[in-house]
């Protein structure tokens, strides 16, 4: 079974603080893909990153960084020096590597950055 767990329902931080959003996944596939999406109040999901199961290198993009650890089935997302514009709901998602077409989303983490 495919499952994504985002245990943090809501997080509040003060501007310029660092924050980490947790994502734990379950799958029996050896080939799979992990994603992070941002959903601002407007409702549109914005793609942030894709990671395949064979690439455990951490990635940094500006203030965003991602830590993928297969040993703990986790794909955590860190925002450094948070800004008010980072306030949104963040979703982690899992997709099969070779079969099936659906994305399995977690329940999301609502991040509020307080100025």
Partner 1 sequence: ETGVTQSPTHLIKTRGQQVTLRCSSQSGHNTVSWYQQALGQGPQFIFQYYREEENGRGNFPPRFSGLQFPNYSSELNVNALELDDSALYLCASSLGGAGGRNEQFFGPGTRLTVL
**72 CB-near residues (< 8 Å, 6+ apart):** 24
Q: Which residues ranging from 5 to 44 are in contact with partner 1 (CB under 8 A)? A: 32-33, 35, 37, 42-44
**Residue 68, interface with partner 1 (CB under 8 A)?**
no
Nearer to partner 1 by Cβ, of 37 and 76: the residue is 37
Nearer to partner 1 by Cβ, of 9 and 115: the residue is 9
**Residue 75, interface with partner 1 (CB under 8 A)?**
no
In the numeric block, the tokens 């495919």 are attached to 2
Return contacts of 84-87, CB within 8 angstroms, 24+ apart. 84/15, 84/113, 84/114, 84/115, 85/113, 86/111, 86/113, 87/40, 87/111, 87/112, 87/113
* # of chain residues touching partner 1 (CB under 8 A): 30
**Residue 64, interface with partner 1 (CB under 8 A)?**
no
Contacts with partner 1 by CB under 8 A lie at 4, 32-33, 35, 37, 42-47, 50, 52, 91, 93-108
């Amino acid at each position: 079974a495919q499952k994504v767990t985002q245990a943090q329902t809501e997080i509040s931080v003060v501007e310029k603080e660092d924050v980490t959003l947790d994502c734990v996944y379950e799958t029996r596939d050896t080939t799979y893909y992990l994603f992070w999406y941002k959903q601002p109040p407007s409702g549109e999901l914005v793609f942030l990153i894709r990671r395949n199961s064979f690439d455990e290198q951490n990635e940094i993009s500006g203030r965003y960084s991602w830590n993928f650890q297969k040993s703990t089935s986790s794909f955590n997302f860190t925002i450094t020096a948070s800004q008010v514009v980072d306030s949104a709901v963040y979703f982690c998602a899992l997709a099969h590597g070779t079969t099936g077409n659906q994305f399995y989303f977690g329940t999301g983490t609502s991040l509020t950055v307080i100025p």
